[in-house]
């Protein structure tokens, strides 16, 4: 059948034409098109990867910021706490020192008072003794003005001695 | 008498083409029935024209008309009496090379022309005249004269040239449509997905990520060549209307190229699986080798026949439906024929893309089989493991 009989001329021209077409399209179309497509795909992949990386970096950065902030907060709290402690200690120390000083002053004062009191008492004692001696001298002088009395007394003393 | 017969035939063919063409417009239109009606009226005019052309014509020969349309021809009939002359290039030992325009045959299938030798044309074939300047026939009515090698730029060859011009213009425009970001604009944004489709859905799955790049230009070219040639064949008027991909010579060349690529790029594994199939008993291997060897030829043969038969059948069907109008000699028939032609043309639009896809897919599959790396689990692997 004529339809199934290949013709040499058409085979020849189809072959030549198709090979030329293949060559032309390869050079003028497929190569630039496929290169562009491939480059674009690479670029898109790269961009996506970079965006991912940037996002991760941003997350890391904000986490870091958060951490720094927290640290700063903690530090502040510590500093405040320490300052308070120092202040408290200062006050306490001052109080204690003042107390010690006060006690010392009080002790000194009472010791002085005691000393003064003792001195005054000694003086009073001495004076009273002197007065007693004077009175006794005067009494004795009056008592033993006569001779009898002196002898009686002496014998009494001797008696006492004997008894002992 | 003969002249008027041929004239009439040309007119009827024109009418058929006109109807095919108008049916092409309807496809894009939603308002189906209105257009069918219009076409029915339109066809009336054409039948009258045909009748006016020669009322004394012989009976309408549908087979002749269809065969004339789907076969190659030396000149390109456009419309009515207008035919585009194409170069005729002949070679024979007796007359050497000869070159003249097909118009010297007066666009007649059965004519003679005087060049270096005397060439006679019968049923579209060119023969050298014998000493008496005539054709001689055998009992079956076939000419027995010497037929020179015919390298003419026929209608199909010219169609192939047009296809090539369209493809190169289209895809070099696509290549130029990329902006600095590598994004296709305009026509590129429309055609690039098709290129990527061939790459991602045909080449890579069948050949593999590593080896596809070498074969991709061929697959792309064959895909778009077949598709555009198919589509051009669906256009019923110049520069379409010829039956390029429904011609066995064209599909033969395409199948042969796939076969050559497969054979040349076949690796050791491929030949091993053909001649000495691993994993089957040794006694069966020679038998398998014969089957496999035949298989390498039946694959491209199937490629050739599938494309040829599908496209030729589509053309025959559309033309047969058109021929119904002329066979029944009533324009009422167009009310039946035209909707069927529209339906068939829509189907053919699908087939045009589908056959291009199938040819490319199977080519990729065969190439993929030829370059596939088998991990030899069946033979060496077994021995190594035990």
Which of B100, B129, B152 marks a domain boundary? B152
Reported as a single tens digit per residue, the pLDDT across B61-100 is 888 888 888 888 888 888 777 888 888 888 888 778 888 8
Reported as a single tens digit per residue, the pLDDT across B148-166 is 888 989 999 999 999 999 9
Residue B287 lies in a domain: yes
Q: Same domain, yes or no, for B143 and B264?
A: no
Mean pLDDT of B153-180: 91
How high is the pLDDT of residue B383?
A: 41
Per-position b or e across B1-31, b if 16+ CB within 10 A of its CB: eeeeebebbbbbbbbbbbbbebbbebeeeee
How high is the pLDDT of residue B57?
A: 53
Q: A115 lies in which domain range?
A: 12-163
Contact between B253 and A9 using a beta-carbon 8 Å cutoff: no
Mean pLDDT of B243-254: 93
Q: Is A10 on the interface with B (CB under 8 A)?
A: yes
Q: Same domain, yes or no, for B176 and B249?
A: yes
Q: Identify the band that residue B376 occupies on the pLDDT scale cut at 50, 70 and 90.
A: low
B311 exposure class (CB count in 10 Å sphere: 0-12, 13-18, 19+): buried
Among A21, A39, A40, the residue with its CB nearest the CB of B164 is A21
Q: Same domain, yes or no, for B287 and B315?
A: yes
B342/B354 Cα distance (integer angstroms): 18
How high is the pLDDT of residue A61?
A: 94
Mean pLDDT of A97-122: 93
How high is the pLDDT of residue B206?
A: 93
Which one, of B114, B126, B117, lies nearest residue B150 by Cα?
Answer: B126
Question: Between B308 and B33, where is the model more confident?
Answer: B308
Report whether B193 contacts B178 (CB < 8 A).
Answer: no
pLDDT reading at B301 higher than 90: yes
B253/B261 Cα distance (integer angstroms): 12
Model pTM score: 0.71
Q: Same domain, yes or no, for B135 and B239?
A: no
Q: Identify the band that residue B116 occupies on the pLDDT scale cut at 50, 70 and 90.
A: low
How high is the pLDDT of residue A1?
A: 61
Q: Residues B258, B261, B262, B264: is their CA dihedral positive or negative?
A: positive
Mean pLDDT of A68-78: 95
Q: Is A32 on the interface with B (CB under 8 A)?
A: yes
* Number of CB atoms found within 10 A of residue B299's CB: 19
Question: Between A71 and B128, where is the model more confident?
Answer: A71
SS3 sequence, chain B?
A: CHHHHHHHHHHHHHHHHHHHHHHHHHCCCCCHHHHHHHHHHHHHHHHHHHHHHCCCCCCCCHHHHHHHHHCCCCCEEEECCEEECCEEEEEECCCEEEEEEHHHHCCCCCCEEECCCEEEEECCEEEECCCCCCCCECCCCCECCCCCEECCCCHHHHHHHHHHHHHHHHHHHHHHCECCCCCECCHHHHHHHHHHHHHHHHHHHHHCCCCHHHHHHHHHHHHHHHHHHHHHHHCCCCCCCCCCCCCHHHHHHHHHHHHHHHHHHCCHHHHHHHHCCCCCCCCCHHHHHHHHHHHHHHHHHHHHHHHHHHHHHHHHHHHHHHHHHHHHCCCCHHHHHHHHHHHHHHHHHHHHHHHHHHHHHHHHHHHHHHHCCCCCCCCHHHHHHC
Residue B265 lies in a domain: yes
In the beta sheet, which residues pair with residue B84?
A: B76
pLDDT reading at B18 higher than 50: no
Q: Same domain, yes or no, for B106 and B180?
A: no
Residue B81 lies in a domain: no
Q: What is the nearest CA distance from A34 to chain B, expressed in angstroms?
A: 8
Q: B181 lies in which domain range?
A: 157-380
How high is the pLDDT of residue B107?
A: 63
B205 exposure class (CB count in 10 Å sphere: 0-12, 13-18, 19+): middle
Highest mean pLDDT among B78-82, B342-346, B379-383: B342-346
Q: Is A33 on the interface with B (CB under 8 A)?
A: yes
Q: Identify the band that residue B294 occupies on the pLDDT scale cut at 50, 70 and 90.
A: very high
Reported as a single tens digit per residue, the pLDDT across B252-281 is 999 999 999 999 998 888 888 888 888 888
Q: Same domain, yes or no, for B209 and B105?
A: no
Among A6, A9, A20, the residue with its CB nearest the CB of B248 is A6
Q: How many domains does chain A have?
A: 1
Chain B partners of A14 at a C-beta cutoff of 8 Å? Answer: 157, 160, 249-250, 253-254
Interface predicted TM-score of the whole assembly (ipTM), two decimals = 0.78
Give the CA distances from residue A163 to residues A45, A159, B360, in Å, rounded to whole numbers and listed in that order: 139, 6, 164
Q: Is A161 on the interface with B (CB under 8 A)?
A: no
How high is the pLDDT of residue A19?
A: 95
B73/B68 Cα distance (integer angstroms): 8
Residue of A nearest to B151 (CA): A9
Which residue in the block uniquely carries the two structure tokens 């001052």?
A94
Residue B256 lies in a domain: yes
Question: β-strands B112-114, B125-128: how paired?
Answer: unpaired
Helix (H, G, I), strand (E, B) or coil at A53: helix
Q: What is the nearest CA distance from A12 to chain B, expressed in angstroms?
A: 7
Chain B partners of A20 at a C-beta cutoff of 8 Å? Answer: 164
Q: How many domains does chain B have?
A: 2
How high is the pLDDT of residue B143?
A: 77
Q: Identify the band that residue B55 occupies on the pLDDT scale cut at 50, 70 and 90.
A: very low
B86/B125 Cα distance (integer angstroms): 15
Q: What is chain B's mean pLDDT, rounded?
A: 80
Contact between A10 and B172 using a beta-carbon 8 Å cutoff: no
Residue B64 lies in a domain: no
Q: Identify the band that residue B5 occupies on the pLDDT scale cut at 50, 70 and 90.
A: very low
How high is the pLDDT of residue A112?
A: 93
Residue A1 in tokens? 């059948």
How high is the pLDDT of residue B334?
A: 85
Percent of chain B scoring above 90 in pLDDT: 36
pLDDT reading at B30 higher than 50: no
Among B67, B164, B217, the residue with its CB nearest the CB of A30 is B217
Q: Same domain, yes or no, for B288 and B236?
A: yes
Q: Same domain, yes or no, for B124 and B227?
A: no
How high is the pLDDT of residue B29?
A: 41
Residue of A nearest to B312 (CA): A3
A43/A31 Cα distance (integer angstroms): 18
Q: Same domain, yes or no, for B148 and B164?
A: no
Q: Same domain, yes or no, for B308 and B248?
A: yes
Provide the chain A residues 40-79 that lie in CB contact (below 8 A) with chain B.
Answer: 40, 43
Residue B19 lies in a domain: no
Q: Is A150 on the interface with B (CB under 8 A)?
A: no
Q: Identify the band that residue B219 occupies on the pLDDT scale cut at 50, 70 and 90.
A: very high
How high is the pLDDT of residue B109?
A: 66
pLDDT reading at B380 higher than 60: no
Residue B250 lies in a domain: yes
Question: Between B145 and B156, where is the model more confident?
Answer: B156
Reported as a single tens digit per residue, the pLDDT across A33-58 is 998 888 888 999 999 999 999 999 99
User: ∠ CA B165-B101-A19 to the nearest 5 degrees?
Assistant: 30
Q: Identify the band that residue B325 occupies on the pLDDT scale cut at 50, 70 and 90.
A: confident
Q: Same domain, yes or no, for B251 and B172?
A: yes
Helix (H, G, I), strand (E, B) or coil at A1: coil
How high is the pLDDT of residue A164?
A: 64
How high is the pLDDT of residue B56?
A: 38
- Determine which helix (DSSP H) or strand (DSSP E) holds A152, and give its type and residue range: helix A147-163
Among A9, A14, A21, the residue with its CB nearest the CB of B167 is A21
Residue B331 lies in a domain: yes
Percent of chain A scoring above 70 in pLDDT: 98
């Amino acid at each position: 059948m004529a339809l199934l009989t290949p013709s040499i001329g058409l085979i020849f021209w189809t072959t030549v034409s198709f090979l030329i077409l293949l060559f032309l399209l390869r050079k003028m179309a497929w190569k630039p098109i496929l290169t562009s497509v491939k480059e674009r795909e690479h670029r898109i992949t790269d961009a996506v990867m970079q965006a991912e990386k940037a996002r991760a970096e941003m997350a890391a950065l904000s986490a870091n910021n958060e951490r720094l902030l927290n640290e700063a907060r903690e530090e502040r709290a510590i500093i405040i706490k320490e300052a308070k402690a120092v202040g408290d200690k200062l006050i306490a120390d001052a109080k204690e020192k003042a107390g010690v000083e006060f006690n010392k002053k009080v002790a000194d004062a009472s010791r002085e008072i005691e000393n003064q009191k003792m001195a005054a008492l000694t003086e009073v004692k001495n004076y009273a003794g002197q007065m007693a001696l004077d009175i006794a001298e005067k009494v004795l002088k009056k008592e033993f003005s006569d001779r009898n009395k002196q002898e009686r007394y002496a014998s009494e003393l001797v008696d006492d001695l004997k008894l002992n | 008498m003969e002249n008027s017969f041929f004239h009439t035939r040309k007119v009827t063919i024109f009418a058929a083409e006109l109807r095919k063409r108008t049916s092409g417009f309807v496809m894009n239109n939603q308002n189906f029935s209105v257009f069918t009606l219009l076409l029915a009226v339109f066809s009336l005019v054409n039948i009258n024209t045909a009748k006016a052309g020669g009322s004394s014509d012989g009976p309408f020969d549908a087979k002749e008309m269809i065969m004339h349309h789907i076969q190659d021809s030396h000149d390109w009939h456009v419309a009515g009496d207008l035919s585009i002359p194409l170069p005729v290039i002949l070679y024979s030992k007796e007359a050497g090379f000869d070159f003249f325009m097909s118009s010297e045959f007066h666009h007649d299938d059965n004519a003679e022309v005087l060049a270096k030798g005397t060439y006679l044309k019968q049923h579209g074939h060119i023969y050298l005249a014998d000493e008496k300047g005539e054709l001689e026939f055998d009992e079956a009515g076939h000419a027995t004269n010497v037929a020179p090698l015919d390298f003419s730029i026929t209608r199909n060859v010219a169609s192939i040239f047009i296809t090539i011009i369209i493809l190169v213009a289209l895809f070099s425009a696509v290549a130029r449509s990329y902006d600095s970001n590598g994004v296709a604009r305009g026509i590129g944004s429309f055609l690039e997905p098709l290129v990527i489709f061939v790459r991602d859905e045909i080449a890579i799955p069948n050949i593999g990520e590593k080896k596809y790049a070498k074969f991709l230009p061929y697959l792309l070219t064959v895909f778009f060549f077949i598709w555009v040639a198919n589509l051009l064949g669906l256009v019923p008027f110049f520069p379409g209307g010829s039956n390029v991909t429904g011609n066995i010579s064209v599909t033969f060349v395409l199948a042969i190229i796939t076969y050559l690529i497969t054979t040349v790029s076949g690796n050791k594994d491929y030949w091993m699986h053909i001649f000495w199939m691993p994993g089957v008993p040794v006694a069966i291997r020679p038998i398998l080798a014969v089957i496999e060897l035949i298989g390498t030829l039946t694959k491209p043969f199937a490629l050739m026949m599938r494309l040829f038969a599908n496209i030729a059948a589509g053309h025959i069907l559309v033309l047969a439906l058109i021929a119904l109008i002329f066979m029944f000699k009533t324009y009422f028939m167009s009310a039946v024929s035209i909707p069927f032609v529209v339906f068939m043309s829509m189907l053919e639009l699908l087939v045009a893309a589908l056959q291009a896809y199938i040819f490319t897919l199977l080519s990729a599959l065969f190439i993929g089989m030829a370059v596939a790396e088998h991990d030899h689990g069946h033979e060496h692997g077994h021995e190594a493991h035990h």
